[in-house]
A and B are shown apart, each in its own frame.
Chain A
Amino acid sequence: MNKKDVIITGIGVACAIGQDKDSFWSALCKSMCGIGPVDLFDASGYRSRIGAQVRDIDFFARLPARQCRRMGRCDLLGLWAADEALREARIQERGLPPERIGVVLGAGSGGVREGERYRRQLYEGQVRPRPSLLMPFPACNVTDAVANLHGFLGPRSAIATACSSSATAIGYAANLIHSGRADVVVAGGAESLSELTFAGFNSLRSADRVTCRPFDKYREGLVLGEGAGIFVLESQRVARAHGIPGYATVLGYGICADAYHMTSPDPQGEGAERSMSQALINARVPVEAVDYINAHGTGTPVNDRIETVAIKRLFGKRAYSIPVSSTKSAIGHCLGAAGAIEAAATILALYHGVLPPTLNLQEPDPSCDLDYVPNEGRPANMQVALSNSFAFGGNNTTLVFGKINPWQRYP
Chain B
Amino acid sequence: MATIPLKITGLGILNALGVGRSIYWQQLLSGTTAIAPIEGFDTTACMSNIGAEIHHFDARTFMPPRFYRRLSRQSRLAVAASIEAIKDSGIEISENNSQRIGTIFGTAFGSTQQTDDFFVSLLENGPQAAEPFLFPDTVPNAPASHVAMYHRLQGPNSTFCQNHLSGECALAYAVSLLEQDQADAVVVGGADELSSILFHSLGAVRALKPLRQKGPLQPSQFPSGKGFIPGEGATCMVLERADLPSKRQDRSYGTLLSLHLASAVVTQGHYEANGKALAEAMRAALEEAKLQASDIDIIGLGANGVAELENAESQALKEVFGSTWQQIPRIPPRYFVGEFGSAGLLTAATILLSLHEGMIPPSIRGSELTGAPGDPHRFAPPRKEALFVGMVIGSTFGGGNACLILARDLST
Contact = CB atoms under 8 A, between A and B. Distances in A.
Interface string A161-190: 110000010001001101101000000000
Contacts of B269: 135
B84 to A, nearest CB: 19
Nearest to A203: B132
Contacts of A261: 149
Given A46-B127, A129-B204, A153-B263, A392 B141 contact: yes
B286 to A, nearest CB: 15
Contacts of B160: 157-160
Interface stretch (A18-26, A194-202, A344-352, A356-364): A194-202
Contacts of A119: 116, 119-120, 123, 197
A205 B127 CA distance: 12
Contact of A196 (B138, B156, B158): B138
Contact of A256 (B99, B136, B262, B277): B99
Contact of A156 (B141, B153, B263, B280): B263
A199 B179 contact: no
A135 B99 CA distance: 39
Contacts of B155: 256-257
Contacts of A120: 123
Contact of B162 (A118, A123, A131, A143): A143
Given A123-B120, A203-B135, A392-B141, A160 B156 contact: no
Contacts of B3: 179
B310 to A, nearest CB: 21
Nearest to B203: A131
Contact of B263 (A122, A135, A155, A259): A155
Interface stretch (B168-176, B211-219, B327-335, B366-374): B168-176
Contacts of B74: none
Interface in A45-59: 45-47
Interface string B346-379: 0000000000000000000000000000000000
Contacts of A102: 261
A62 B102 CA distance: 41
A112 B115 CA distance: 10
B148 A257 contact: yes
A234 B372 CA distance: 42
Contacts of A370: none
Contact of B145 (A141, A199, A203, A257): A257
A160 B161 contact: yes
A176 B172 CA distance: 10
Interface stretch (A9-17, A144-152, A216-224): A144-152
B268 interface: yes
Contact of B108 (A131, A138, A271): A138
B51 interface: no
A185 B409 CA distance: 34
B154 to A, nearest CB: 5
A159 B201 CA distance: 22
Interface string B279-293: 010000000000000
Nearest to A393: B145
B88 interface: no
Contact of A153 (B120, B148, B173, B262): B262
A151 B138 CA distance: 32
B144 interface: yes
Interface string B281-311: 0000000000000000000000000000000
A395 interface: yes
B391 to A, nearest CB: 18
B136 A262 contact: yes
B180 A179 contact: yes
A259 B148 contact: yes
Contacts of A168: 158
Contacts of B265: 147-148, 151, 153
Contacts of A143: 162
A123 B150 CA distance: 36
Given A135-B268, A157-B160, A392 B139 contact: yes
A395 B157 contact: yes
A295 to B, nearest CB: 20
A384 interface: no
B205 interface: yes
Interface in B123-140: 123, 126-128, 130-132, 135-140
A45 B176 contact: no
A152 B200 CA distance: 33
Interface string A366-395: 000000000000000000000000011111
25 contacts: A47-B128, A102-B261, A134-B201, A140-B161, A140-B398, A143-B162, A147-B263, A148-B398, A152-B263, A153-B263, A153-B264, A155-B260, A155-B261, A158-B162, A199-B130, A202-B127, A203-B135, A257-B145, A257-B153, A258-B154, A262-B142, A392-B139, A392-B145, A393-B142, A395-B158
Given A157-B160, A175-B176, A262-B145, 20 more contacts: A45-B128, A46-B128, A123-B123, A139-B109, A141-B268, A144-B268, A153-B263, A160-B140, A162-B139, A181-B261, A199-B130, A204-B132, A257-B157, A274-B99, A278-B182, A393-B139, A393-B141, A394-B149, A394-B157, A395-B158
